[in-house]
A and B are shown apart, each in its own frame.
Chain A
Amino acid sequence: MSEITSGPQLGATPGPRPEAIKAIPVRHHWRWVSAVVVLALAAQIAYTILVQAGLQWQVIGHYLFQRLILGGILVTLELTILAMVVGVILGIVLAVMRISPNPVVSWVSWFYIWFFRGTPVLVQIFFWYNLNSVIKVIGLGVPGTPFFLLLGHTNSLISPFMAALLGLGLNEAAYMAEIVRAGIISVDQGQTEAAQALGMTRLLLMRRVVLPQAMRVIIPPTGNETISMLKTSSLAFVASVPELFTRGDQIANATFNVIELIFVVSIWYLAMTSILTVGQFYLERYFARGSQRELPLTPLARFRRMLFTGHASPPEFVAPAPAVPTSEHR
């Protein structure tokens, strides 16, 4: 049985606020158990690496900042950035081609994606690297006849670096095309219609209306692809490009410190991907504006909260987003 003691009153003021709830928190025994198990395993791994393996730490320290290794890092970064630039630009072109009403253009894009996504990137790099064994000159038309526009000799046009860049970039374009296409599809159909109704052509509305809105969907997986590319660039090893892994391998072969050099190379790859991960976090946070009510906390903010409140779980209270301006009736 319940009885309404006080109904809603017109213009009623809220009553006094009751005291905040104080309760004894739930005890998490399994957290302590798991912590002990993890500590034991970590100790075992540390012992194996630090004592049992007998690594020559001074060798790792010596080569970590060695000139050859640092040079290799530069080449790795250069290769990663250039391959991603090729991949993103070509990927956008392929994605727009793929959804073109022109069947020939659309089919070309489909075939490209099918081929470059369907063969291993290692094989593609190797192909470009060995192209000069079957094709000596590159140009338009038929060689040996007057109908030939010579662009250059294969040997000079496709250096080892270029072979790796072609292999990585063209392969990446196939993946980026699918990512961009997903982004384009995610944009509301009404946007296209509104732009069409204003008289915009297909390419103009794609460039000005659809692609800018697709970016929010495209950026996160592109960050992923960049991190992936940083590591995949080590496949340039087969084209003898002097990037980080190739340099490490060369030093290891000369000094027989194989595991130590693997450590050196891994430390650098980890360092670089860590920086990219942080960058990706902030980039995604930036592009989430306006689409998410509450932005995820930065690691620093989460750490601060943990220090002051004792746990990193979601906050009890979040400041409301800036108020929507109320409509101004005339």
Chain B
Amino acid sequence: MVKSEAVHKSFGRLEVLRGIDLEVYPKQVLCLIGPSGSGKSTFLRCINHLEKIDAGRLSVDGELVGYRQQGDRLYELPDADVCKKRSEIGMVFQRFNLFPHMTALENVMEAPIRVKKLYRSVALEMAQQLLERVGLGAKLHVYPNQLSGGQQQRVAIARALAMGPKLMLFDEPTSALDPELVGEVLDVMRGLAEEGMTMIVVTHEMGFAREVGDTLVFMDGGVIVESGKPREVLANPQQERTRSFLSNVL
């Protein structure tokens, strides 16, 4: 589903990604952990065309991200194509980023109507079902600032799902939440994983990574230090750097 070969990304002089090799298979749940500044979020944003990579190859579903290959030449994708590809990938942010001037229902309906050009009635029914599914069937007409953080993040997940994505990216979805609200968001994510959604999750929730993740990847300094089955990596890290990180976190 996602294939990354020697992906590099710099912001000015700062090299954030220094060669990421990684493959994500359909229905796989991949958890990315690592200290802040290690490039986890940047890598996630590259997959969704929010950042452009400088070197290497990154492809989603067999198609290059941001470029089109013809012969041995690369052509930059025009904006319209980039938008179309983004619409096939769902993304959930640390700070929720719900649209504050729209109700929960309107937040979820917006993109299906405006981007996918669905009929309003179809989008409405789908949005209601999705909000029901994340446990917010009673909050359809409530504005984001009247919802708790956990509720907002669940609306954000429903909003991403409304586009029918083939891949979901989670960028530290529970880091901005009060501890007692983390569980409700993780429950929704666990449900998604069980239904077979392909997910890449940047997280600090080791418990979630252990129970739900198929693969755990530890990143530091823009490279992948270690990866493997979550239980094995967490219980028996092979690299010294992983050990010291985990001993500080767990």
Residue B80 at the A interface, CB < 8 A?
yes
A196 in contact with B93 (CB, 8 Å): no
B114 in contact with A190 (CB, 8 Å): no
Instruction: Kindly report which residue of chain A lies nearest to residue B156, judged by CB atoms.
Output: A194
B142 in contact with A193 (CB, 8 Å): no
How far, in whole Å, are A291 and B229 apart by their CA atoms in the complex? Answer: 46
Residues 153-206 (chain B) with a chain A CB within 8 angstroms:
156, 159-160, 163, 181, 184
How far, in whole Å, are A128 and B48 apart by their CA atoms in the complex? Answer: 51
Residues 12-39 (chain A) with a chain B CB within 8 angstroms:
none
B114 in contact with A208 (CB, 8 Å): yes
A213 in contact with B100 (CB, 8 Å): yes
Query: How would residues 78 to 99 of chain B score, 1 for a CB under 8 Å from any chain A CB and 0 otherwise?
Result: 0110011111111101010111
How far, in whole Å, are A330 and B191 apart by their CA atoms in the complex? Answer: 15
Residue A202 at the B interface, CB < 8 A?
yes
Report which of A194, A213, A325, A329 forms a contact with B93, defined as CB distance below 8 A. Answer: A194
A200 in contact with B115 (CB, 8 Å): yes
Report which of B50, B100, B139 forms a contact with A193, defined as CB distance below 8 A. Answer: B50
Report which of B93, B111, B148 forms a contact with A327, defined as CB distance below 8 A. Answer: B148
Report which of A197, A209, A327 forms a contact with B50, defined as CB distance below 8 A. Answer: A197
Interface size class of B (residues with CB under 8 A): 35 or more
Report which of B79, B84, B95, B139 forms a contact with A202, defined as CB distance below 8 A. Answer: B79
Residue B145 at the A interface, CB < 8 A?
yes
Residue A191 at the B interface, CB < 8 A?
yes
Residue A271 at the B interface, CB < 8 A?
no
Instruction: Kindly report which residue of chain B lies nearest to residue A202, judged by CB atoms.
Output: B79
Residues 88-129 (chain B) with a chain A CB within 8 angstroms:
88-91, 93, 95, 97-101, 110-111, 114-115
Chain B neighbourhood of A193, CB < 8 A: 50, 93, 97
A201 in contact with B111 (CB, 8 Å): no
Residues 208-238 (chain A) with a chain B CB within 8 angstroms:
208-209, 212-213
How far, in whole Å, are A324 and B184 apart by their CA atoms in the complex? Answer: 19
Chain A neighbourhood of B138, CB < 8 A: 328
A198 in contact with B101 (CB, 8 Å): no
Chain B neighbourhood of A188, CB < 8 A: 97
Known A-B contacts A199-B163, A290-B145; A190 and B110 likewise in contact (beta carbons under 8 Å):
no
A197 in contact with B91 (CB, 8 Å): yes
Chain A neighbourhood of B56, CB < 8 A: none
How far, in whole Å, are A199 and B164 apart by their CA atoms in the complex? Answer: 12
Q: Which of B79, B93, B111 has the most CB of A within 10 A?
A: B111
Chain A neighbourhood of B181, CB < 8 A: 327
Known A-B contacts A213-B100, A290-B143; A198 and B80 likewise in contact (beta carbons under 8 Å):
no
Report which of A190, A200, A324, A330 forms a contact with B111, defined as CB distance below 8 A. Answer: A200
Chain A neighbourhood of B84, CB < 8 A: 199
A213 in contact with B97 (CB, 8 Å): no
How far, in whole Å, are A190 and B92 apart by their CA atoms in the complex? Answer: 11
A191 in contact with B114 (CB, 8 Å): no
Residue B69 at the A interface, CB < 8 A?
no
How far, in whole Å, are A17 and B143 apart by their CA atoms in the complex? Answer: 38
Instruction: Kindly report which residue of chain A lies nearest to residue B107, judged by CB atoms.
Output: A194
15 A–B contact pairs at CB < 8 A? A191-B97, A194-B99, A196-B50, A197-B91, A198-B86, A198-B87, A198-B115, A198-B159, A200-B111, A201-B79, A202-B79, A209-B99, A290-B100, A324-B148, A327-B147
Closest 8 CB pairs of A and B: A199-B87, A194-B97, A198-B111, A197-B91, A190-B97, A327-B148, A199-B115, A199-B86
Chain B contacts to A: CB under 8 angstroms = 48, 50, 79-80, 83-91, 93, 95, 97-101, 110-111, 114-115, 135, 138-139, 142-143, 145-148, 150-151, 156, 159-160, 163, 181, 184
Q: Known pairs A194-B97, A208-B114. 4 more at Cβ < 8 A?
A: A193-B50, A200-B114, A327-B147, A327-B150
